Amino acid sequence: MGTVVDAANKKANGSIAEKKPTVIFVLGGPGSGKGTQCANIVQHFGYTHLSAGDLLRAEIKSGSENGTMIQNMIKEGKIVPSEVTIKLLQKAIQENGNDKFLIDGFPRNEENRAAFEEVTKIEPEFVLFFDCSEEEMERRLLGRNQGREDDNIETIRKRFNVFLESSLPVVQYYESKGKVRKIDAAKPIEEVFEAVKAVFKAKDEKAAA
């Protein structure tokens, strides 16, 4: 017997799969310049930028029941379940008139990845991977001076290790499927964007062929 939740899920899954959106995962360590380049891609190629972290923060701010649960989990140092993040991404994709999306900072690990494909029935077009050395990312984050409390050397190294342990396997999985477009993110912003543009132009040319 189907519950209301099942019916809602079925409706959500049906419409998102029918929408056939183009999804590109954007991955890279802390300080690799993902945010800057996502803004450039939005401006030049008309994608909608979805950040898993921003969606979770917005949900918390909304004061909804879901938001309170997310906030409590984060406070307790627990990881928010994949399903919660995926539902927020799904809702954002459905409610947006666009059909091209950059999903930034997600999937964070293999479990996220498998759950996203299972729930949404969507495979990413490709993964844009900003490859940058730990030294360079460290230098950038320490030089940001935005007063972010997570920009101290110890925290930066922890975040970098989490990225290596959790997110790199996702990159390797998609690499084995020929879906990774690696960008040398250590170069100046303009040069990095030239490389990014080449990737998107190649994709558009392939689609037009």
Detail the residues annotated as belonging to a binding site for ATP: 31-36, 144, 187
Q: Verify cis geometry, omega within 30 degrees of 0, for the bond prior to 30.
A: no
3-class secondary structure, 79? coil
State the binding site for a ribonucleoside 5'-phosphate. 57, 78-80, 105-108, 148, 159
For 58-77, the DSSP string reads HHHHTT-HHHHHHHHHHHTT
Question: 47: which DSSP letter?
Answer: P
Single out the residue of 110, 112, 103, 61 nearest to residue 84, CA to CA. 112
Q: Residues marked as binding for CMP? A: 112
Alpha-carbon distance of 64 to 62, in angstroms, equals 5
Q: What is residue 146's DSSP assignment?
A: S
Long-range contacts for 168-176 (Cβ within 8 Å, ≥24 apart)?
169/109, 169/110, 170/25, 170/27, 170/107, 170/108, 170/109, 170/110, 170/112, 170/113, 170/127, 171/27, 171/127, 171/129, 173/110, 173/113, 174/25, 174/124, 174/126, 174/127
Q: Which residues are annotated binding-site positions?
A: 31-36, 57, 78-80, 105-108, 112, 144, 148, 159, 187
